[in-house]
Structure 1
Amino acid sequence: MTLRRQPGGTKSMCATLPPPSAGEGGPAVRPGRSGRSPAEGGRRERAKFLAARTGTACALALLLATPLPGRAAPQDAPAASVPLPPPIPPERPQDLTPPPPPGEAIKAAPTPPERPAELTPAVQADTKPDGKLDAKPEGPAPTAESGKPEAAQPTPLPPARPPELSGEAALALKVSAPDDAACRTRLARLGARFEPLPAIANGQCGAPLPLKLTALDGVALPQSATLTCTAAEALARWATEAQVAAERELKQPLRSIAIGTSYECRGQNHDVEAKLSEHAFANGIDVMSFGLEGRAPVTVAAKPAGSDEGRFLDAVRGRACAFFRTVLGPGSNAAHADHLHLDERERNAGHRLCQ
């Protein structure tokens, strides 16, 4: 088989090959059974063989000569295309726009009423681009009915500050006075004699409702004591216990109690830098000695162990812890070596100091 190019294109045509010889693999010629001659039967067999061979060769040649689909020569490749924007849809015709629903026509906004003349300012300041206002508007100054320019009105001053809110009065410690009516009733039933005093106010020292205690039940107070009602009631109850101790240990009745200090504005142990003492609030008292009938007074000091006076002082000192929150005396420190200090100082959780 040979391929021949046509003058007008790339089509190919197949040429008929000569009959193959016996050595080319053609079919052997055998006599037919139908009575045909051997020559005629051989020709038919060769014709079928060549037809099949020629058709296969021509189909292969045409397949090789036809270019593959989707593949083109490099020089025939199209240039890269630039993406185009999507097309803009046409405008909607006016005759196709739906009309507004009936009864819902757009209403014009109502015009606000004019500002009353009495509320309109006579002169308005001009605002500069930087946000500041002109100091004075242009034009003549307003005049009064008399024709003279109006004098500038002074700025009114604020009211004066109340005295209790300024100065030392504002810094003073203000404590509401307690209601001690019930305490005074109990104190009178204990047989004490007292009189109320004006409130004491001395800086941080003072007492809102002090009392002047002059005597106890059967026990004199040569030096009156200035105390709060709470401290005076504790002293009156303790004096009853001291009378019992005097009869038991000294076999003599108690007649008087000498007081050293009651109210005094000072620090603890007379130290100006220390915390204020309970004496500064009329809440403490110092006992110097005990007067008994028929014998010398018993002074508060260290006594020989086992002596009558020593046992008496130990007894009254121990009973004082049941009525006062603070009890100090000889042996506590040097500042209390010659007296008993008794006060009603409040501490956390009701703690008491007895030394």
Structure 2
Amino acid sequence: MSALFEPYTLREVTIPNRIWMPPMCQYSAAPEGPSVGAPADWHFAHYAARAAGGTGLIIVEATAVSPEGRISPYDLGIWNDTQAEAFRRITGFLRSQGTVPGIQLAHSGRKASTDRTWTGGAPVGPEAHGWQPVAPSPVAFDDRHPVPSELTVEEIQRIVARFADAARRALAAGFEVAEIHGAHGYLINEFLSPHSNHRTDAYGGSYENRVRFALEVVDAVRAVWPQDKPLFFRISATDWLEDGGWTADDTVRFAAELHAHGVDLLDVSTGGNASSVRIRTGPGYQVPFAARVKAETPMPVAAVGLITDAEQAEKIVANGEADAVLLGRELLRTPTWAQHAARELGGSVHVPEQYHRSV
């Protein structure tokens, strides 16, 4: 059998194949009113199409644990029961297609309160549903972004509790995998990296202090997330800075600690925390970071980064570089990518009965 189409079990959840969809913001939720932050028709159609296309696991886009944790006013949230109930339509359909529904729980920190990406993504103020961002330190992401408010210890603890509350609601909404967003320059990543964390208290300075917030969030979520369901953590394996940033060595060290705290898989990406960095990309350019974590720690990993064709994805899994692949832009272009890959590799994948003529 093709390695890409072997089922994969974490705890007591079995994912039917190794073709997974990563979180990708749609910026399509209501910015205000009774349905603020709740998934709507666009979200249902978007995720349903990829499930009908055979994707094994779909991780719903960054979903904010609080209103100020959104990247934009148009982001999804799961800080209230109305939002959680609205997700049930999506999770129910995904399960009906054999797809495992996952959700990424997020807080955007200093990169919050921006417009939609297709209108430029510039910071927005109260006149456009915006708000004051918060961060570990009063250091702006770049010249466009405002200086964020430095979080107090009491505020940090409230955010930890928000993650736990969001995990409870995600369970009630029917999700089977929860992922904590610790990547791409958002709040948890900001605490991890000395580039953005200039604190001098128990949450800054040393490596041990900078990982404290992340581990507190993991412990809080793991305490309420069922023991039979897996917990993922998405990380930026490097800031791509020559000095003064989070490094691949830090990631390997941290992966082992996350595993000890009950994280079941590391979703390995890179970058997003240093605005001046220009990353040289290419096919599979982030896969070596996942492969190193897999080789040097007990942590299972998923790989991302310009994975576009079936043979490439097959080799990543078959060679043991990662346990699964996450296809972002490629699944935006081709919702039925898994079915095409199955035909190419001789694998077996779900095809809806309504589409039997396509087989």
TM range (shorter): under 0.3
TM-score (norm 2): 0.22
Q: Pick the structure with greater CA Rg.
A: 1
Q: Which has the higher contact order (CA 8 A, sep 6+)?
A: 2
TM-score (norm 1): 0.23
Between structures 1 and 2, the one with greater helix share: 2
